[in-house]
Structure 1
Amino acid sequence: MCLAIPGKIKSIETIHNGLVRMAKVSFGGITKEASLEMLPDAKVDDYVLVHVGVAISKVDEEEAQKTFSYLEEIGELGELEDVDEYLPKKE
């Protein structure tokens, strides 16, 4: 099974003479690079679903938090750190 993980875009740069947009995306404290080629309108602070290094869709913050909650429930957050900022606030 393949899974797309939500992350928050922290920065965007272009490579290959400006032809390719790449983002630094934070996943609960771990930052990875992801291609933005499928999301030309993505910007810093957007939440995106990333699958195998490619941002495949934008999601709102609430949806990103729900996904992180589900992953926490099933014990699939693994190596992610500082996920508290992504999880819904517990009352």
Structure 2
Amino acid sequence: MCLAIPAEIVALHPGERALVSLDGVTKEISVALLDGVAVGDYVVVHVGHALARIDPEEARRTLDLLAEAAALTAEGAA
């Protein structure tokens, strides 16, 4: 199973690279598959590559669902 997660672009770097943030955790990724990305855009990230832009509200809903799933998993493990 593969998982792609939304993250916000916080900086653009040379060579079709960008810095993204997910809850304060930053990672440099490739944006070579997308045209015209900008700081503030939300993108779906999979194995270090931005695959698509995503609406900020949709990104937030997805991140909220992932947090809820993690909380349920933690409850089940306790």
| Percent identity of paired positions between Structure 1 and Structure 2 | 45
More helix by percentage: 2
The count of corresponding residues between Structure 1 and Structure 2 is 71
C-alpha displacement of 1:64:
0.4
Structure 2: unaligned runs, 5 residues or longer: 72-78
Q: Does 1:29 align with 2:12?
A: no
Give 1:73 shift: 1.2
CA distance in 2, matches of 1:44, 1:73: 27
Structure 1 consecutive aligned stretches of length 4 or more whose deviation exceeds 4 Å: none
- Structure 1 residue 22: deviation in Å? 0.4
Output one character per residue of 1:1-54: Cα deviation in whole Å (capped at 9) or x when no partner: 11111010000011xxxxx31000001110001100011211110000000000
Output the TM-score relative to the length of structure 1: 0.74
Question: Which residue identity is paired with 1:46?
Answer: D
